[in-house]
Chain A
Amino acid sequence: MAELTTTRGRRGVRFVRALAPIPWLLPALVLIGGVVLWPVVEMVRTSFLRIGTSGYVRGSAGWTRYTELFSEPAFPHVLLRTLEWVVLVVAATVVISLLLAQLLNRGFPGRTVVRWALIVPWAASVVMSSIIFKWILDWSHGVFNTLLLDLHVISKPVDWLGTPSSAFWWMVGVAVFVSVPFTTYVCLAGLQTIPGDVYEAAEVDGSSRWNTYWRITLPLLRPALLVGSVINIINVFNSFPIIYTMYAGAGYDADTTTTFMYKLKDTDIGESAAAAVVNFVLVIIFVLFYLKATRWNEAVARK
C-alpha cells in the first residue's frame, strides 16, 4: 500500500517535471500562436470567402477565388516576372558580394571605413532607399536626368521609371544595392574561416592564383554561399517595398506575385488572400530548401 503511493507520487513528480518547461515556453508560444499561426489561419480562411468591396463577408466562395486567380490574364506573366526578379537579383548580388568580400578580406588603408560604408544601404530602411531612388530618377525634376542633361549625354529627360521594362532594371539595381551588404558579410565571414595553412599548402604545390580560388576558396566558401543565397532568395521573393514604391505605372508588367497580390486587394480581398496563400506555399518551399541546405552543410562540415 505504502509502496503504491510512492510510485504514484513519483509518477506525479515526473508528470510535473515534464510540464515544468511550459511556463517558460508559454509567452513564446502565445506570441507564435497570435502573431504567426492565427494570421495564417485567417489568411487561408479569407481565401475561401466571398467578400464585397465594402469588406462585408457575403458567404463562402469555395475554390472560386483560386480559379479566378489562376485565370487572371496577367498571372502567368507575373509568375515569370517573379522568377526573373529572384534569379537576376540573387545572382547579381552573390557575384558582387564575392568580389567585395575578397576585397574586404585584404588589408588596405581605409578598410574599416569601407566596411562601415558598406553597412549603410543595409541599415537604411528599404522603403527609404526606394523613395530616394524614385526621386533621383524622376522624369521632370530628378537629379539623374539633370546630371545627364547637363553633361549632354541625353537631349531630353528620360522617364526611367515610366515603363515597366526600364523600371524593372532600375528596381533590380536597387534590390541588389540593398542585398549586397548582408551577402558580403556572410561571404567575408566564410572567407575568414578558411585556415591559412590550406593556402600555404597550395602555394607549396605551385597552384596558380586562379586555380587556388577555384579549387580551394570557392569550395570552402560553399556553406556560406549557400546560406547567403537561400536567405536572399526568400528576402528578394518577398521584397514588396521596392516595386511598390518605385513603380507607380499602369498594368501588371512590373509586378511580382507579392505586389500583384497587393493590387488584387483593391478589387477582391478573397482573391488577394488566395494569392497570399500561393505566395505562402512558395515561401514554405524555399524555407524547406533552406533547412535542407543548412543540414547538408552540417553534414559536409562533419566529414
Chain B
Amino acid sequence: MKRRLMTTLGVGLCAALALAGCGSGGSDSGSGSQTKTITFVAAEYSDATAPYWQNMVKQFEAKNPGYTVNLNVQNWNNIEDYVKNLVQNHQQPDVLNVDHWIDFAQDNLLYKASDVLSSQTMSDMLPNPKKIGTYQGTQYGIPFILSTRLMYYNKDWFTKAGLDPNKPPTTWAELSADAQKLKAAGCPEPYGMPLGSEEAQAETMQWMLGAGGGFVDAQGKWALNSSQNVAAVSQMASLVSAGLTEPNPGSVDRTAGTWADFEAGRVGMMLGHMTPMEDIATKKLAVNYGLAPMAGKDGPVTSTLGVGDFIMAFNNGNGANKDAVSKWLNFVFQQQNYAQFLTNEKFLPVTQSALTAMTSNPADANLKPFLNVLPNAVFYPQTDPAWPTVEDAIKHQIGTAVQGSSPAGVLGALQQTAQKAEQNGG
C-alpha cells in the first residue's frame, strides 16, 4: 500500500515537473558563447512562400556547415498572435518577417540593421525604404518587400457604359460620374471599396492622399481628423450612400472580397497592388483591365500609397546569436536569392541590385507600372510607436464612417486613440 502510494506520488510529481519544464526554455544560450542555431519566423505570402524558404534554408545550411535555421512559416491570420505570445514568454525568434518593427525596437529587442547586415548589403538598400525602418536616426527595421497601389479598372464595363476604356477617371467628380454610368450599365460593384478588417487602412490612406491629407501631417504628428481627411472619408461615404460600392464596405475584405470580385468581372474600379494582375495572368481570367493612378480630389494622385514589410533580427542571449543571424540575413539578401523571392511573390524590391535585375528580367516586365510610382510612394507612419495600435483601430472602426456614422466623428475618435497610444509609448 505504502509503496504504491510513493510510486504514484512520484509519477505525479514527475508529470508536474515535466509540465513546469514546458514553460521555461528559449533560444538564448549562455552569454559569450555563440549559438549556431537560429529560429526564423516568416509570414506566408502565398503557396510559394514555404517551399522558397525551405529551399533557402537547405542551401544556407549546406554553405555554412554547423549552422541551423529552424524555419517556421506562419499564416498572416495568426502570425501576429503567435509572435506576441513568443515575445511575452521571452521566446522571441532570432529573425522575423512581419509588417511592423517599431514596437520590437522600442522594447530593445532588436539589433541595429548595421550590426547584422554587411556594409555591402547596407549600401545596396534603396534610400526611400531605408527611411521606413529608421527611428531617431538608427535603422532597426530592415525593409524586405514593398508594394505600391494603382487603380484597376475593367475596360469591358467602361465600354459597356459608354465610357472611353482608355480614359479612366482622374478626379473624384469624374470617378463618381463614371461609377454612376457603370451602375446604370448593370455593373454590380462600380467601385470596390474593401474597408473590412483585412486592409481598411490602405484604402483609407490612398483616399486621404488624394485630398492632400494622410495619417500624419508634414511634421509627422498624428492628423487623422484633418479637414483634408474628413473630406476624403466623406467622399468615400458619398459613393457608398449612392449605391456605387458594395452595400456595406465595412465588412468587405480585400483579397477574398473586392479583388476576387474584380477577377470575377463584377467590379468596375478598385485599388490594388500586383496580386490581382498576377492572378488574372496566371489563372488566364477573361478580365480586360487597365491600370492608372488613383483619382484624387482635383487630379490624379501623384503620391501613391506604399506598403513595406520588414525583416528584423532579435538580440537574444546578449549577442550570442549575432553571428548566425548576420550570416543568414546577408545570405537572404544576396541578389539572386532575394530577386527569386520577389519574382515568386510579385513584390517590389528594397535593394538596388534586385531592382536592376528585375528591370531586365522579362518575367517581371509587368511590374513596371508599379515600379514607376515607387519613387514617389508615401508609406504608413511605420516609424511611429503608436502605429501598430492606430492601424488596428482603423481596421476595426473606419468602416462605420461610410455606413452612417459621421466621418468627422469617427476620425476624431481615431485621432484620440492615436494620441493616447502616443502618451502610453505605443
Contacts and interface: CB of A to CB of B under 8 A. Distances in A.
A54 B80 contact: no
Contacts of A27: 12, 15
B103 A52 contact: yes
Contacts of B286: none
B8 interface: yes
A26 B10 CA distance: 11
Contact of A54 (B12, B104, B395, B398): B104
A50 B103 CA distance: 13
Nearest to A34: B19
B103 A250 contact: no
A56 interface: yes
29 contacts: A22-B9, A23-B4, A23-B8, A24-B8, A26-B8, A26-B12, A30-B12, A30-B15, A52-B106, A53-B389, A54-B87, A54-B106, A54-B107, A55-B85, A55-B86, A56-B107, A58-B425, A139-B248, A159-B247, A247-B251, A248-B253, A249-B248, A250-B195, A250-B250, A251-B396, A251-B400, A266-B80, A266-B392, A269-B84
Going nearest first, the 7 A-B pairs with the smallest beta carbon separation are: A250-B399, A162-B248, A55-B84, A250-B250, A23-B8, A55-B87, A249-B251
Given A249-B399, A250-B397, A53 B426 contact: yes
Q: How many interface residues does chain A have, given as a range?
A: 35 or more
A140 B262 CA distance: 12
A163 B403 contact: yes
A73 interface: yes
A35 B250 CA distance: 38
B200 A250 contact: yes
Contacts of A268: 389
A159 B196 contact: no
Given A34-B19, A250-B196, A266-B80, A51 B103 contact: no
Contacts of B421: 267
Contacts of A163: 248, 403
A30 B19 contact: yes
A54 B103 contact: yes
Contacts of A73: 413
B88 interface: yes
B308 interface: no
Nearest to B7: A23
A16 interface: yes
A53 B388 contact: yes
A194 B24 CA distance: 57
A57 interface: yes
Interface in B386-409: 388-389, 392-393, 395-400, 403, 405
Interface in B107-126: 107, 109
Contacts of B5: 16, 19-20, 22-23
Contacts of A24: 8
A107 to B, nearest CB: 47
Interface string B273-287: 000000000000000
Contact of B196 (A16, A30, A248): A248
Given A52-B426, A139-B248, 19 more contacts: A23-B5, A23-B9, A52-B425, A54-B104, A54-B106, A57-B88, A58-B425, A139-B246, A158-B247, A159-B246, A247-B251, A248-B197, A249-B196, A249-B250, A249-B403, A250-B197, A250-B398, A251-B250, A269-B88
Interface in B310-333: none
Contacts of A53: 84, 100, 103, 388-389, 426
A161 interface: yes
A263 interface: yes
Nearest to A250: B399
A59 to B, nearest CB: 11
B149 interface: no
Residue from A23, A30, A51, A247 having most chain B Cβ neighbours under 10 A: A23
Contacts of A162: 246-248, 250-251
B19 A267 contact: no
A162 B248 CA distance: 5
Interface in B9-35: 9, 12, 15-16, 19
B389 A267 contact: yes
Interface in A166-205: none
Range of interface residues on B (Cβ < 8 Å): 35 or more
A58 B189 CA distance: 46
A16 B197 CA distance: 61
Contacts of A34: 19
Contacts of A55: 83-88
Task: Name the residue in A22, A24, A54, A159 with the highest tally of chain B Cβ atoms < 10 Å from its Cβ.
Answer: A54
A194 to B, nearest CB: 47
Nearest to B405: A251
A265 B88 CA distance: 13
Contacts of B100: 53
A253 to B, nearest CB: 8
A140 B19 CA distance: 49
B248 A56 contact: no
Interface in A1-55: 16, 19-20, 22-24, 26-27, 30, 34, 50-55
Interface string A189-224: 000000000000000000000000000000000000
Contacts of B403: 163, 249-250
B218 interface: no
Nearest to B86: A55
Contacts of A267: 389, 392-393, 417, 421
A231 B400 CA distance: 35
B9 A26 contact: yes
A142 B266 CA distance: 15
B12 A23 contact: yes
Interface in A230-266: 247-253, 263, 265-266
A250 B250 CA distance: 5
A162 B80 CA distance: 26
Contacts of B266: 140
B109 A54 contact: yes
Nearest to A269: B84
B424 to A, nearest CB: 8
A94 B189 CA distance: 42
